[in-house]
Structure 1
Amino acid sequence: MAQSPRLARRATASVFWSFLRFGSDQVFNFVVFVVMARLLSTADFGLFVVAFVYAEVGKIIASGGLVSCLYRAPEVTPRLADTIFWSNLGLASVFALGGLVLQQPIADALGRPEGGTVVAALGFVVPVTALGASHMSRNLREFGHKSLALRSLLSGLIGGGLAVVAAWNGFGVWSLVVQRYAAEIINTLVAWRAFRWRPGFRFSLATLREQAPLGGNVALSQLVILFISRTQDLIISHALGAGAVGVYRTAWKSTELLAQGTITPFSTVALPTLAKLQSDENAFRRAYLRIVAISGAISFPCIVGFGLLANELIPLIYGEKWAPSIPVAQALTFLVVPYALNFFADPALTALGRSGVIVRLAVVQLVGTIVFCSLAAPFGLRAIAIAYVVRSYLTLALQLLMFQRATGVAATKVLRSILPQVSAAAAMAVAVTAFSTLRDAFPNGWLYVACAVVLGAAVYVPVLALMAGPARAEALAEARRFISEGRRPTSEKA
């Protein structure tokens, strides 16, 4: 990227806008999640979780499969664009009809008559998402993250607001349906306005056959990754009951939101950036290591900090009835390293066209999750969380080796890129843990949390700067460029 200053500027500016975009998404989703956790019973909350899974599967099909081919293509021809658009819309429509046809079996499986109807309604959001997915991908290909950030703010504000109003007025799990429809309709309208392109009818079956392996593997890997976490829900439900699923999912969702909010903005920009560097191996490796390091510098203190303060934060945010989630959240905090690396493996491999490696890794992770969590289930929720963490580190070792063979990025260099962040987070953990002995001196939980956060930042930042060594001057310069690019008017960046 040093050899392409314009690419570096566009990438850093896009990260800025991606933070705004994903930050707003996570805030609004988090608000809805908290409201649901407080208003719904554990049984209703379990239905909410299942319905949310169906919505996420649909979103992956509509925006995470075939449209990923648009990133890697050297040139997006009219034939390619039309083929991807209509094929993607067709798949989304089939998914929607499938939910409609299967709503009764779904209701029977859930044991809730309204469950099938809720799931079927969510299925018809998927074609709406597909209508704007190609526009979104082509806009991201050109680093058009600013317009997408504004889109997310608008859709999140309206969709999240309507969902909260619906929940307060007794709509229950239907609040999720309200949120999805409002948000996706706005997303699609803004995507069409941001990228002024109207699909034609140059559909080509030959082009579809050419692109299907990459798009299919990307979608399949994302679905397998989604099922990795949801498999735990099935195991927990079978061994410990539906109420335990809500407890576990509350802890999981909290950690996941932090990871997505701090890492996904970087991983989203990583795909178009690395795709443009796919022909320059040295530049590709440097860019990959740099973006992993910078992302880790932000994500590590957030995720580790939540684990350290889970005793206070979970009751304060969700209510006292979710206190059993605390030990689970503390165990899941140790996923910070796998999170930091897993989020970037898929974009890098997709940029190089190595989607088969992604699928093989995802399948290994899924099988490992089933085995480890099933063995741990008789010992309770915390044991399941610990088993998942152990599985994650074991498969991470395999991932690093497979990633090294596929990309040429040495596993040792990847680990060294996050060593300063790990060390700084460990020092922060020691300081905050020692500070917890003074908890009784604070009149309320929020004041204690605020002081702990300030202390953690006061320890983390200087230790990170010290551990970064010779690279810290470059990192600080890059941070300044990041801030200046984010504030600079779009006309100046061009």
Structure 2
Amino acid sequence: MPEEPSLKQKTVKGVFWNALGNFSVKGVQFVVMIVMARLLTPKDYGLLGMLTIFIAISGSFVSSGFGSALIRKQDRTNADCSTVFYFNIVAATFFYILLFFAAPYIADFYNEPQLTDLTRVISLTLIINGFNLVQESLMTAKMNFKTTAKISLITAIASGAVGLTMAFNDFGCWALVGQQISSAIFRVLLFWYYSKWRPAFVYSWKSFRELFGFGSKLLFSGLLDTTYNNIYPLIVGKLYSAATLGFYTRAENFAALPSSNVTNIIQGVSYPALCTLQNDDARLATTYRKFIRISAFVIFPMMMGLAGCAKPLVITLVGEKWSFSILLLQIICFRMMWYPIHAINLNLLLVKGRSDLFLRLEIIKKCIGVFFLVVSAPFGIEAMCVGGIFSSIFCLVVNTYYTGKIIHVGFFRQMGDMSKTIILSLAMGTLVFCISTFCPIQYLYNLIIGIIAGTLFYIGMARMLRFPELKELIELRKNKEKANK
């Protein structure tokens, strides 16, 4: 059938450009972060971390799930897109004003007076980001990840330059604010430059009701997810200090480099790809399981390797002053390794148009997460991180329940698909940890040897044991080369 090669070609290209964009952007951001972490203090990062939950929640209201609704709708019109555009601008302005007047109360909550001005400035990103959601959604729907990768890379380089310049000139935490504001501005300008779409002078209540009918459930589930994901910084900042929160956010940022990259790649490519198969359950299940296996094969060793070499990595890159982040990073890696698997399971519900189940799952999972948070919080930040591991695993069981009902690929089948990868990744992580901990050499050499040994061990054992995921990755690369010819 001609449709299958077309879908495969689009998916391969999508994976390639989405991966290239994410890893190149994160690579630039990682380098910028390393330099800035040496110039700034844990408290500087902690102050910005205290505001994350307020900006993130407001951003969820601004988008309101309209981006996913536009991507899913195959017969979207210019009226649909224009309606979403104008709604985003109005919503963003409303929430900026709300945060502007709430800023003094946020500062009082944390007992950090300088948060008043920080809140009022950083909140401008809400209005700026509201101008490019439609353009970005349309490019994603067309799987035009080459252009989005280019935009993201240029933005990362330009905003990184702004942040570094301010950090070198002793702006402190304002260097982080400048980086985020400039990132939002560059991103909007580039999306308007590369996108052919422009808003028309039309607002359709019919389009709003149709898109919001789907997106509203994503809004509420997104609010739950955003609130829960940022409740740890909120509690750490309130119960401990800005410096302690800085250590936590640094550990989470290190762990997020591989985890978030793979999750973004999988979500960005799997959702539009699976949407084209939404009416063919057999092909949907086959493609879905392939995404699961390949995701685990890539992300699990990355996270276990990161946990194993955490000590030499942190000390080599950002210095001894960040040493408290090492243990937190090792624990968080075991939690965040499951994020891409969560993302694929949730994408299936969106593909099937079951945003109601998506919302129901989010409510259940957040109740589980809050339970583990309440139980672990009295025992310190390390215990909170351990509780996050148990929460992530329990939530995976919940996530896979409806997947099993809809296409008969439930928890045990998915764990069976990933079991060999899990065992091999743990073995590799243990090897890297032993090298990083017990080799009596400099941290830099420990890091280099650990990475090389772990990579050779993992790939070598995968080839020896004939992992099908390795063969599938090789085929993806060959298909990409054919697609370019």
Separation in structure 1 between the aligned mates of residue 240 and residue 181 of structure 2, nearest angstrom: 33
Distance 1:465 1:423 in 2: 15
In structure 1, the partner of 2:459 is 461
Q: Which amino acid aligns with 2:479?
A: R
**Distance verdict in 2 for CA 1:463–1:69, change over 3 Å:** same
**CA drift at 1:335:** 2.0
Q: In the alignment, what sits opposite 1:160?
A: 160
Q: Distance in 2 between matches of 1:430 and 1:145?
A: 36
Instruction: Give me the whole-angstrom Cα distance separating, in 2, the residues matched to 1:183 and 1:469.
Output: 41
Evaluate the alpha carbon distance shift between residue 237 and residue 131 of structure 1 in structure 2; reply closer, same or farther with a 3 A threshold: closer
Question: 2:45 corresponds to which residue?
Answer: 45
Aligned residues: 485
> Would you say the 8 A contact 2:435–2:450 is kept in 1?
yes
Paired position in structure 1 for 2:209? 209
Partner of residue 247, structure 2: 247
Secondary structure class of the residue paired with 2:405: helix
Q: 1:332 matched to which residue of 2?
A: 332
Deviations 1:59-82 (A, max 9, x none): 444557212111111211122122
Q: Is the contact made by 2:293 and 2:469 (CA closer than 8 Å) also made in structure 1?
A: no
C-alpha separation in 1, matches of 2:227 and 2:29: 20
- Number of the residue aligned with 2:270: 270
Distance in 2 (CA, whole Å) between partners of 1:252 and 1:98 is 29
Q: Secondary structure at the match of 2:203?
A: coil
Q: 2:189: which partner in 1?
A: 189
Q: Kindly indicate whether the alpha-carbon contact (under 8 Å) linking 2:247 and 2:325 is maintained by their aligned counterparts in 1.
A: yes
| 382-391 or 103-112, which deviates more | 103-112
Q: 2 CA distance for matches of 1:82 and 1:401?
A: 37
**Which residue identity lines up with residue 455 of structure 2 in the other structure?**
A
Aligned residue for 2:198?
198
* Offset at residue 219 of structure 1 (A): 3.0
Cα deviations across residues 226-282 of structure 1 (Å, max 9, x unaligned)?
322322223334444443322222222211222012331122111111111111111
In terms of mean alpha carbon deviation, does 6-15 or 49-58 score higher?
49-58
> Counterpart of 2:285 in 1: which secondary structure?
helix
Specify the code of the residue in structure 1 equivalent to 2:204. Answer: S
Contact 2:365 2:398 (C-alpha < 8 Å) held by counterparts: no
* Alpha-carbon separation, structure 1, partners of 2:31 and 2:467: 40
How far is 1:474 from its partner? 4.3
Specify the alignment match of 2:374 in structure 1.
374
Go from structure 1 to structure 2 and tell me whether the alpha carbon gap of 1:483 and 1:168 turns closer, same or farther (over 3 Å shift).
farther
Aligned sequence identity (%): 24
Once structures 1 and 2 are overlaid, which stretch shifts more, 2-11 or 54-63?
A: 54-63
Q: Residues of 2 paired with 1:401 and 1:468: CA distance? A: 30
1:336 shift after superposition: 4.9
Task: Tell me the CA shift for residue 414 of structure 1.
Answer: 2.0
Greater Cα offset, 145-154 or 117-126: 117-126
Q: Which deviates the most, 61-70 or 180-189?
A: 61-70
TM-score, L = length of structure 2: 0.92
- Structure 1 window deviating more from structure 2 (26-35 vs 205-214): it is 26-35
Alignment match, 2:116 = 116
After TM superposition, the score normalised by the length of structure 1 is: 0.91
Q: Of 443, 449, 453, which aligns to 1:451?
A: 449
Q: Distance in 2 between matches of 1:322 and 1:86?
A: 44
Cα distance change of structure 1 residues 36 and 58 upon mapping to structure 2, 3 Å threshold: farther
- Of residues 219-228 and 258-267 in structure 1, the stretch that sits farther from structure 2 once superposed is 219-228
- Where 2:345 maps in the other structure, the secondary structure is helix
Asked whether the equivalents of residues 297 and 469 of structure 2 are also in contact (C-alpha less than 8 Å), the reply is no
Task: Output the CA distance in 2 between the equivalents of 1:302 and 1:78.
Answer: 42
Aligned mates of 2:35, 2:51 — CA distance in 1: 16
CA distance in 2, matches of 1:3, 1:200: 33
Say which is worse superposed, 249-258 or 466-475, in terms of deviation: 466-475
Conservation of the 8 A alpha-carbon contact between 2:295 and 2:341: no
Q: How far apart, in 1, do the equivalents of 2:44 and 2:473 lie?
A: 47
Per-residue deviation, residues 180-230 of structure 1 (Å, max 9, x unmatched): 222222222222232201111231112212221322222332332232232
Q: Which amino acid aligns with 1:448?
A: N
Q: Which runs of 5+ in 2 are unaligned?
A: none
Pair 1:193–1:243, CA change in 2 (3 A): closer
Aligned equivalents of 1:195 and 1:254: distance in 2? 33
Residue ranges of structure 1 left out of the alignment (5+ in a row): none
Q: Given the superposition, is the C-alpha separation of residues 437 and 48 from structure 1 closer, same or farther in structure 2, using an over 3 Å criterion?
A: closer
Q: Match for residue 235 of structure 2?
A: 235
